[in-house]
């Protein structure tokens, strides 16, 4: 049964506080013909539509969205608009691809600014604040890891303006984490309100003539045709922008693993609490553990904080969660380990959602011109800035426009398939367990064998 406006509001803090109505736009009611049909109104679909309509005014673009724009990860994420890419580390480490990987890295840095630029131009008030990312060393192993990371960045030619080491006191000036052995400051990161960005982008593409049909699930993607319950959308190019939800399409269950990330948000905190916490510039914060943790100070003075890591058998997808489940207690506990003062304040929102993990843990953008099919995604939880670059690149590829982006190593073949179940479940759950136990050992001050770390990293990239 279709969700109601109130149910959409209840999806996350961000949906609860997004301005404007969440009433679904009218669905596709009959057959239609366009130039480009996009399936999915998350950032990937919306950015692709935005650049198509900007580069070629008058082009006919229609988006079909199973729920409402920003229903998926794009409306629920941690709001880190971060200039990195899953798998980027491996690309940069490969001497034969280094030059291209460096160009890709610079393009990702630019994407963080491009999101801010377009939001300014289109009057999308997504609370964009480029305060950078502070990755705090909360254990000795973290400090060593971050110093190695910094050395690697430097050896690739990235300088103080891109990232720099924060000694303990300077780190504490920014993030007063309980455990602080210094930190790495990464300049290319902005905090945003995710649903404001998604909902604002939807309005911006409509202003440019793009049609959005909500509560219109694609039942099948065929060459140059999207089948929906009440009509087919024919197009020269069909774009698949369904990320973690791809498994809902016929034949796509092994395309991308939906990994769930869980978040909590505090009530708005008083000035006295911020004196204990820091984040004066709305820096985003976390530490370098393998099971990623991420937090931001929102524009209305809450902390929104999350951790990754649940996989459900058969690539199951969950969009709503009971507030009392243990996963939320764990997220809250981790947040309080950064800032014990938060035990005195209420958690007002708890939510989660699926992000998409391809088998090679690396995003891809591409067009199969013969079949009239295109794709973008596979961001492994680093999709806020990357989807801007991906959507822009995909629009240029579809329109056959020359640019530096269409030559980046982000452009590539479709995702290789994951293993069938139960192998997928065993592999993904096993990996999560190993990650959790290595993280716990390091946080307890124990050394972890580098070999196990290397195996982990080679598997996940």
Ligand X SMILES: Cc1cc2nc3c(=O)[nH]c(=O)nc-3n(C[C@H](O)[C@H](O)[C@H](O)COP(=O)(O)OP(=O)(O)OC[C@H]3O[C@@H](n4cnc5c(N)ncnc54)[C@H](O)[C@@H]3O)c2cc1C
| Interacting span for ligand X (CB under 6 A) from 16-24, 72-80, 169-177, 330-338 | 72-80
The yes or no reply on residue 76 touching ligand X (CB under 6 A) is yes
Minimum CB–partner distance for residue 240 and ligand X (Å) = 9
Region of residue 448 (left: phi > 0; alpha: psi -120 to 50; beta: else): beta
- Point out the residue whose Cβ comes nearest to ligand X: 383
Beta bridge partners of 360: none
How long is the chain? 461
- Closest to ligand X by CB, 117 or 343: 117
| Interacting span for ligand X (CB under 6 A) from 106-114, 136-144, 154-162, 352-360 | 352-360
Token pair 């890709």: residue: 104
Minimum CB–partner distance for residue 118 and ligand X (Å) = 16
- Closest to ligand X by CB, 200 or 354: 354
- Tell me, by CB under 6 A, how many residues bind ligand X: 45
**Residue 257 near residue 307, CB atoms below 8 Å:** no
Minimum CB–partner distance for residue 195 and ligand X (Å) = 10
| Interacting span for ligand X (CB under 6 A) from 36-44, 102-110, 339-347, 452-460 | 36-44
**Residue 24 near residue 180, CB atoms below 8 Å:** no
d(CA 196, CA 202): 10
Would you call 65 helix, strand, or coil by DSSP?
coil
Minimum CB–partner distance for residue 95 and ligand X (Å) = 28
Site string for ligand X, 291-310 (x = CB under 6 A): ---x-----------x----
The yes or no reply on residue 66 touching ligand X (CB under 6 A) is yes
The yes or no reply on residue 382 touching ligand X (CB under 6 A) is yes
Judging by beta carbons within 10 Å of its beta carbon (0-12, 13-18, 19+), is residue 56 exposed, middle or buried?
middle
Q: How many CB atoms lie within 10 A of CB 406?
A: 17
Q: How many CB atoms lie within 10 A of CB 197?
A: 30
3-class DSSP string for 209-272: CCEEECCCCCCEEECCEEEECCEEEEEEEEEECCHHHHHHCCCCCCCCEEEEEEEEEECCCCHH
The yes or no reply on residue 258 touching ligand X (CB under 6 A) is no
The yes or no reply on residue 82 touching ligand X (CB under 6 A) is yes
User: Of 416, 371, 370, 366, whose CA–CA distance to 393 is shortest?
Assistant: 366
d(CA 264, CA 321): 12
Q: How far is CA 453 from the centre of its chain?
A: 24
Minimum CB–partner distance for residue 381 and ligand X (Å) = 5
The yes or no reply on residue 375 touching ligand X (CB under 6 A) is no
Among 36, 67, 142, 180, binds ligand X (CB under 6 A): 67
Among 77, 232, 252, 266, binds ligand X (CB under 6 A): 77
Element (H, E) at 44: helix 43-55
The yes or no reply on residue 41 touching ligand X (CB under 6 A) is yes
3-class DSSP string for 354-375: EEEECCCCCCEEEEECCCCEEE
Minimum CB–partner distance for residue 353 and ligand X (Å) = 4
The yes or no reply on residue 379 touching ligand X (CB under 6 A) is yes
The yes or no reply on residue 217 touching ligand X (CB under 6 A) is yes
> Contact positions toward ligand X, by CB under 6 A?
39-45, 64-67, 71-74, 76-80, 82, 217-218, 241-245, 248-249, 261, 263, 294, 306, 352-355, 377, 379, 381-384, 387
């Amino acid at each position: 049964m279709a969700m109601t406006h109130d149910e959409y509001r209840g999806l996350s803090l961000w949906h609860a506080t997004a301005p404007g109505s969440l009433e679904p736009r009218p669905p596709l009611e009959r057959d239609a013909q366009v130039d480009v049909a996009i399936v999915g109104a998350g950032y990937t679909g919306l950015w692709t539509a935005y650049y198509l309509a900007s580069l070629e005014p008058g082009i006919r673009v229609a988006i079909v969205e199973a729920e409402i724009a920003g229903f998926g990860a794009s409306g629920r994420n941690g709001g880190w608009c971060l200039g990195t890419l899953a798998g980027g580390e491996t690309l940069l480490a490969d001497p034969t691809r280094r030059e291209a990987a460096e160009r890709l890295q610079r393009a990702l840095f630019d994407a963080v600014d491009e999101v801010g630029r377009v939001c300014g131009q289109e009057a999308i008030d997504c609370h964009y604040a480029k305060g950078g990312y502070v990755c705090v060393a909360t254990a000795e192993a973290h400090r060593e890891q971050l110093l190695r990371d910094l050395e690697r960045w430097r050896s690739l030619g990235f300088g103080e303006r891109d990232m720099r080491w924060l000694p303990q006191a300077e780190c504490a000036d920014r993030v007063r984490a309980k455990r602080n052995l210094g930190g790495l400051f990464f300049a290319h990161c902005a905090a945003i309100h995710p649903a404001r960005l998604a909902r604002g982008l939807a309005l911006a593409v409509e202003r440019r003539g793009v049609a959005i049909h909500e509560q219109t699930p694609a039942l099948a993607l065929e060459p140059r045709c999207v089948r929906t319950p009440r009509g087919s959308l024919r197009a020269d190019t069909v774009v698949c922008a369904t990320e973690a939800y791809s498994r809902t399409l016929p034949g796509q269950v092994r395309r991308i693993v939906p990994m769930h990330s869980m978040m909590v948000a505090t009530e708005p905190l008083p000035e006295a609490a911020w004196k204990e916490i820091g984040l004066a510039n709305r820096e985003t914060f976390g530490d370098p553990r393998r099971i990623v943790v991420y937090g931001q100070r929102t524009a209305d003075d809450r902390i929104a904080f999350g951790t990754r890591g649940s996989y459900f058998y058969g690539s199951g997808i969950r969009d709503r969660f009971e507030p009392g489940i243990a996963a939320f207690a764990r997220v809250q506990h981790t947040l309080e380990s950064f800032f014990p003062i938060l035990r005195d304040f209420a958690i007002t929102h708890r939510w989660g959602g699926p992000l998409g993990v391809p088998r090679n843990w690396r995003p891809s953008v591409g067009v199969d011109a013969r079949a009239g099919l295109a794709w973008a995604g596979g961001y492994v939880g680093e999709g806020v800035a990357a989807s801007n670059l991906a959507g822009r690149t995909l629009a240029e590829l579809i329109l056959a426009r020359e640019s530096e982006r269409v030559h980046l190593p982000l452009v590539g073949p479709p995702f290789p398939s994951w293993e069938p179940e139960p192998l997928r479940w065993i592999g993904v759950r096993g990996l999560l367990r190993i990650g959790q136990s290595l993280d716990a050992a390091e946080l307890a001050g124990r050394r972890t064998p580098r070999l196990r770390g290397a195996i982990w990293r080679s598997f996940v990239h």
